[in-house]
Structure 1
Amino acid sequence: MILQGKNLANILTFSRIVSACLLLFTPPLSILFYVIYTYCGVTDLVDGSVARKMNAESKTGALIDSIADLIFIIVAGIKIAPILIDKIPVWGQIAIIGIVVIRITAYTVGAIKFRRFASLHIISNKVTGGILFLIPYGIIVVRIPIVCAIVCIVAAVSAVEELVCEIRLEDYRPDIKTVFEIKSMR
């Protein structure tokens, strides 16, 4: 069957786009929201692995994956931000602004230094993405200020690590795993 192998990863990615769009029409934090939200997260985790396992990696697939991620992040933000906006403590709002400034600075340094958008695949960025994904689950179990503190600490460490990597790297290496690899590269 043609659906096997090469197309499966792209089908998963396209299904994430469709599912993310469906989230727009579901009540936030409802059972249906969690089912669709979880499906989006699972497909994000597995589509790249499927592409690698099936030897079906492609620039087009990577682009579609990035588009799917962006759509999902925007939709999730649209649905979850109104719930959180009034409940995030002032210190959390200040921390979020600081983290955004550090991220923008890191991307600016990378863009100037490497003459391209330079986002790194460091482990702390992946951990931050995972923690951000868990916010809708966390807020039903733990108080929002505690969730905010955890997210801000992890995101701040990740943002600072990315900035340090961008400053210290001599050439663009998007697949670097940690800042500690930089010393061993020289």
Structure 2
Amino acid sequence: MLPKQIPNILSICRIGLSGMLLLLSANSFLFLIIYLLAGITDVADGYIARKYRWTSRTGALLDSLADAVFSLAILLIISLNFRTVITGNLLWLVLILTLKLCSFTTGLIRFRKAVAIHTIANKATGLLLFFFIPLVFFSISGFFIKAIFIICLLPAIEEFFIILCCEELNMNRKSIFSK
């Protein structure tokens, strides 16, 4: 194994950890440990890749795939175990998923590849969503959870407009206000 493959291995581990989460009771301590490990791999793969300049197209694709698999696993876990969170916020969830689908489709059409812009807002939303699961476990108020959904909508809008309007693709663009 080459050291520069470490970020890719961490992304692959996140995919495996996401699958493990589906097999565990959502209220168990082991679930939270595996969930925490998945979050650590998410932070570590990007940090290590940038710090040591071990970035690659394959790594970026694996990271995006691992993020998508993790997000889908969590969405499935929430919908199976905490149905009221989904039903009470269905409009916001549909809006976010629709925008993400529009961004994906627009990226494929305009740039002939899967596009995920690593904006500051997208990264902040990822961090917010990481803490979302423990908040749901501890039955934080519905108002707070609704606020998280609304906050998550904003980076989805930003990403869609960046992909729609940019002349040149920059996957590491910090915001709609930068280049």
Could you say which residue in structure 2 is the equivalent of 1:150? 147
Could you say which residue in structure 1 is the equivalent of 2:70? 72
Could you say which residue in structure 2 is the equivalent of 1:127? 124
Question: 1:111, 1:60 → 2: CA distance?
Answer: 17
Is 1:48 aligned to residue 46 of structure 2? yes
Aligned-residue offset at 1:107: 3.0
Write the mapping of 1:86-105 to structure 2, written as runs, cut at 5 A.
86-88=84-86, 90=88, 92-105=89-102
Write the mapping of 1:100-111 to structure 2, written as runs, cut at 5 A.
100-111=97-108
Unaligned stretches of 5+ residues in structure 1 = none
Structure 1 residues 174 and 54 mapped into 2: Cα distance closer, same or farther (>3 Å)?
A: closer
Q: Is the 8 A contact 1:120 1:174 kept in 2?
A: yes
Code of the aligned partner of 2:106: V
Question: 1:72, 1:65 → 2: CA distance?
Answer: 10
Q: Is the 8 A contact 2:78 2:86 kept in 1?
A: no
Q: Is the 8 A contact 2:79 2:85 kept in 1?
A: no
Cα RMSD over matched residues?
2.5
* TM-score, L = length of structure 2: 0.82
Greater mean deviation of Cα atoms: 171-180 or 19-28: 19-28
Q: Secondary structure at the match of 1:24?
A: helix
Q: Is the 8 A contact 1:14 1:68 kept in 2?
A: yes
Aligned-residue offset at 1:125: 1.3
Q: Work out the percentage of aligned pairs sharing the same amino acid.
A: 31
Code of the aligned partner of 1:33: F
Aligned-residue offset at 1:34: 0.2
> Aligned pairs, how many?
179
Could you say which residue in structure 2 is the equivalent of 1:161? 158
Deviations 1:81-112 (A, max 9, x none): 2122234454x211221222233233333333
Question: 1:70, 1:89 → 2: CA distance?
Answer: 21
Could you say which residue in structure 2 is the equivalent of 1:6? 4
Is 1:181 aligned to residue 178 of structure 2? yes
Q: 1:33 aligns with which of 26, 31, 34?
A: 31
Greater mean deviation of Cα atoms: 72-81 or 161-170: 72-81
Question: 1:164, 1:59 → 2: CA distance?
Answer: 23
Question: 2:58, 2:171 → 1: CA distance?
Answer: 18
Structure 1 residues 159 and 17 mapped into 2: Cα distance closer, same or farther (>3 Å)?
A: closer
Q: Is the 8 A contact 1:24 1:75 kept in 2?
A: yes
